[in-house]
Structure 1
C-alpha cells in the first residue's frame, strides 16, 4: 500500500492511485494526478497575508483547492489562468453550503475539470449529501471525487449517490477496493446510476 501527498503538511493525504467508476463504465485504477491542498500553510501567504496557490512537487501542475479559498480568489489573474488551463479543481468541506453558492458552482462547470467532497472522518456522511446535491440539484455532470478519510466500506454508497472517483485513504488496499462493486448485483433503491432491480416472481 502506497501513499501520496503525505510528505507535505499543507496537503491532505490520499492514496497514490485513484479508483475511477464512471457511470455506465467499469471500475479501474489510475495514477493520482490531483494533490489536495488543505489551504492551511503560512508559507503560501503573499505580502498582504493572503494565501496563494501552493508550490507543487516537480512534475505536478494540477491541484484541488478548498471551495472557500476559491470563493475569495477566483477573480485573480493567476487563478483564472490556471483554471482556464484545467489545472484547478475545487473540493467542498462537509459543512459547505453549496446551495448558497449555486451561481458560482454554475460558473465552475466551465472552469473545473472535477470537484471533490471531503470526508473529515469516515463516520461523517455529510459529503454523501454534497455529491447527491451536486448531481440532482445543481446538474454537475463531470467528475465528483471522494477525498479525505475515505475507506473501502464507503465505496458502494458513494457510487450510488453520485461519486465516480475515489481518492482512498493511503492505507486502503486498491485491489480489494476494485472488487467492491461486484459484491452486490441487485439494488432495491433507485440511485444516480440506475433504477432499482426488478425481480421476477
Structure 2
C-alpha cells in the first residue's frame, strides 16, 4: 500500500507518554504512535486513494480516525497491520460510539490501543467516550487521551478510564507525574477504585 505524509496531517503530541495502568504507579515512556488526523486528500475521493501516512521519526505504529476505520477496515492489509499491533483507532469528540457498537466489538479483537481526542481542553466529551468504552464495552486494553491534553486533565481522565496520556507538547512531564498524588482520598467511585471510606 502506498503511503503519504504531511506534517499538517499529524495531531501533535509530546514525545513521551504518561502511562498510568490500573493498579500501578504512573510512569513515562516513549511515544511510539503517530497520530494521523486523517486529513490527507480530504477534498478528494475518499475511496481507495485515501491512504495511510508514511511513518517518520522512528514511529512504526499509527492511530487512525475511527471514521476512517469504519470505511477501510475490510481491506486485507489494514486488518493485517492492526492484528500485528501497528494500527489503532482514535475517536473524535463527536463520534457516536454507541451507534457503532458492532464495529467496536469487532475492533476489540484487533486494536492494540484506542484513543479519545480532545479538540480543545475545555471540551469534555472525550471523558464520556473513555467511560463508555470501559463501562458499556468492557474495554480492558489501553485508552489514551490525545489532542489538547493538559496536566489539569490527568486526574479526571485517570478516574473515568484513561490509562495513558499523550500530553500537548508544551506540558511539563515532571509536573504531570505529580498530579496523581495530589489527593489521597476520593469521594466518588471511579473506574480505578471505590470511593474512600472515612471513619469519623
Q: Which runs of 5+ in 2 are unaligned?
A: 1-5
Pairs aligned (count): 194
Tell me how far apart the structure 1 counterparts of residues 57 and 191 of structure 2 sit (CA, whole Å). 37
Look up the match of 1:195: 194
Look up the match of 1:162: 161
Give CA deviations for 1:114-144 in whole Å, capped at 9, x if unaligned. 1000000000000000000000011100000
Distance 1:13 1:47, change over 3 A: closer
Look up the match of 1:150: 149
Tell me how far apart the structure 2 counterparts of residues 48 and 141 of structure 1 sit (CA, whole Å). 32
Whether 2:91 is the aligned partner of 1:89: answer no
TM-score, normalised relative to structure 1: 0.93
Look up the match of 2:3: none
How does 1:6-155 map onto structure 2 within 5 Å?
8-42=7-41, 50-57=49-56, 59-155=58-154
Tell me how far apart the structure 2 counterparts of residues 42 and 57 of structure 1 sit (CA, whole Å). 19
Larger mean Cα displacement after TM superposition, 20-29 or 53-62 = 53-62
Look up the match of 1:4: none
Dislocated runs of 4+, deviation >2 Å: 45-50
Q: Cα RMSD between the aligned structures?
A: 1.6
Tell me how far apart the structure 1 counterparts of residues 19 and 173 of structure 2 sit (CA, whole Å). 11
Tell me how far apart the structure 2 counterparts of residues 58 and 167 of structure 1 sit (CA, whole Å). 16
Q: Which runs of 5+ in 1 are unaligned?
A: 1-6
TM-score, normalised relative to structure 2: 0.93
Give CA deviations for 1:44-73 in whole Å, capped at 9, x if unaligned. x78966311111115322000000000000
Tell me how far apart the structure 2 counterparts of residues 58 and 78 of structure 1 sit (CA, whole Å). 22
Shift of 1:28: 0.1
Given that 2:155 and 2:179 are in contact with CA atoms closer than 8 Å, whether structure 1 keeps it comes out as yes
Tell me how far apart the structure 2 counterparts of residues 47 and 19 of structure 1 sit (CA, whole Å). 34
